[in-house]
A and B are shown apart, each in its own frame.
Chain A
Amino acid sequence: MAVTIITGAGSGIGAATARELARRGDSVVCADVRLDTAETTAGELPEALAMEVDVTSAASCSRMVEETLRRFGDVNSIVTCAGVEKHGPGHEFAEEDFDWIIAVNLKGSWLSARSAVRAMIDAGHGGTVVMIGSINSVVGNPGASAYCASKGGVLMLGRTLALDWAQFGVRVNIVGPGVVDTPMSAKSLADPQRRARMMERTPLGRPAPPGEIASVIAFLTSDASSFMTGAYVPVDGGSLAAW
């Protein structure tokens, strides 16, 4: 049975991913900086472990993987959903906010994947890594320079790690959600004007429930995607195809 670690599993896309992968039979590790929400996710699932992790800390990421090995004996996949966002024009944005966003979204994706892939290499088998980029990995968004920089970074990070780790049979792919109905986007979606603006650029005309991102993550952590590595997979309702 596959063992999958999901960071940011306390909320939104991470929580939906934990549910989707548990449903297909994975043992899932629900890791989040908030243990209480991770426990809520794990509590509803049959074969799940909740864990506190701060993905900005290398030590915390190693502990997460050690704990996973102790409990489940192996790790086959990691999905890095932990992420943060903060808006503000580039000329006013605070340095500590910039550092925080890069630390969680970009460096955190690397640190958590690195720990898991070290275990895969030690075990002598391959595995899969899925990183959560964003439509902002490839197009900009005014007032979100740090977030967009972090997500552009995740795309190139994932592509290059795919090259580093192909020789170990570890595939790395990047998912690019568009507008997803989660706590992260709740404020924008609640404002009718902002929601209308976002939907104008979404040909399918609706935000995705987080399960629609999770089902793509399930594909990328399965053998069905056997020849895919380093790919960017948008799940954006057609936003990148739109005028």
Chain B
Amino acid sequence: MSGRFAGKVAVVTGAGRGMGRAVALRFGREGARVVVAEVNPEHGAQVAVEIRAAGGTAIAVTVDVSQTSDVSRLFAATVKELDTVDILVNNAGIAVARPILDYTEEEWERQMGVNVKGVFFCCQEAARLMIPRRQGKIVNFASTSAFVSSSKPEVAYDTSKGAVRQMTVSIAAELAPHGVNVNAVAPGTTATEMTRSTLATEEGLAWQVARIPMGRVGQPDDIASAVLFLCSAEASYITGHTLVADGGWLLY
């Protein structure tokens, strides 16, 4: 398949739905060979089928990114099936939303396990493959919550996204001499399952929309196009940046 990413191998975690799915479908359409890495086996398989039905190339690998053994298996399977990894998009994420007094230690560990540890070990495995080839693109999912607090209390989630933002900076500085670009995206409120309950009520949606200068919430495709840009040759001199795509949320 031709396209901006013809032949490139792109691993997208959490690609079974939401923004990860949008990213995976776009990569498929633009010629990449896509690895749909997802904890929900049915969702992952379905997205791979969708990509192939549209004429693209995709495999699905079931993986819980918070388990390092799963992460190793994901990269081993990718190398076995598709030889290498050119692009890694760390999209998989969960939001454990609670007031501070209600968090348990287990919930904290789960939040950090997926959103921070998962991102780190996927980056490590990818770097192992990218450094010797002197090329590669990594995009992590931060959030506007890496800059300001979420609009409801979820300190563990906000902390995890702050960590992703800083991890992006430090890995970028370390890998730049090896020709690997590492960036993040910071979506604002985007219409996915993660925000469904917030946006389901009329007041919930109205409050968000009133708060966003562009007057609408983001759609998965808005964010996917920002992610693909960061993985493209057009963004070759950008590294260590968290690209904000929030309709203006952070402006005031």
Contacts and interface: CB of A to CB of B under 8 A. Distances in A.
A233 B229 CA distance: 12
Contact of B172 (A223, A228, A238): A238
A229 interface: yes
Contacts of A242: 173, 240
A219 B235 contact: yes
Contact of A227 (B177, B218, B233): B218
A33 interface: no
B169 to A, nearest CB: 5
B213 A235 contact: no
Nearest to B249: A230
Interface residues of A, number: 38
B239 A166 contact: no
A225 B246 CA distance: 10
Interface stretch (B61-69, B135-143, B219-227): B219-227
A241 B247 CA distance: 24
Interface in B211-252: 213-215, 218-219, 222-223, 225-226, 228-229, 233-241, 243-248, 250-252
Interface of B: 168-170, 172-173, 176-177, 187-188, 213-215, 218-219, 222-223, 225-226, 228-229, 233-241, 243-248, 250-252
Contacts of B222: 226-227
A231 B144 CA distance: 12
Contacts of A203: 172-173, 176-177, 239-240
Contacts of B219: 227
A213 B237 CA distance: 8
B226 A227 contact: yes
A215 B233 contact: yes
Nearest to B213: A166
A8 interface: no
A121 interface: no
A229 B229 contact: no
A198 interface: no
A205 B248 contact: no
Interface string A210-243: 0011011011000111111111111111101111
A178 B237 CA distance: 9
**Residue of B236, B246, B248 ringed by the most chain A CB atoms within 10 A:** B248
Given A163-B251, A204-B176, A230-B213, A225 B240 contact: no
Interface of A: 159-160, 162-163, 166-167, 171, 178, 203-205, 208, 212-213, 215-216, 218-219, 223-238, 240-243
Contacts of A227: 187-188, 214, 218-219, 222-223, 226, 245-247
A225 B222 CA distance: 7
**Residue of A213, A215, A238 ringed by the most chain B CB atoms within 10 A:** A238
A241 B172 contact: yes
Nearest to B230: A219
B239 A204 contact: yes
Contact of A233 (B228, B239, B243, B250): B243
A204 B172 CA distance: 10
B226 A240 contact: no
Nearest to B188: A227
A104 to B, nearest CB: 24
B238 to A, nearest CB: 5
A202 to B, nearest CB: 8
23 contacts: A163-B248, A163-B252, A166-B215, A166-B248, A171-B214, A215-B233, A215-B234, A215-B236, A216-B235, A219-B234, A224-B225, A225-B225, A225-B245, A227-B219, A228-B244, A229-B214, A233-B243, A234-B240, A236-B237, A238-B240, A241-B176, A242-B173, A243-B173
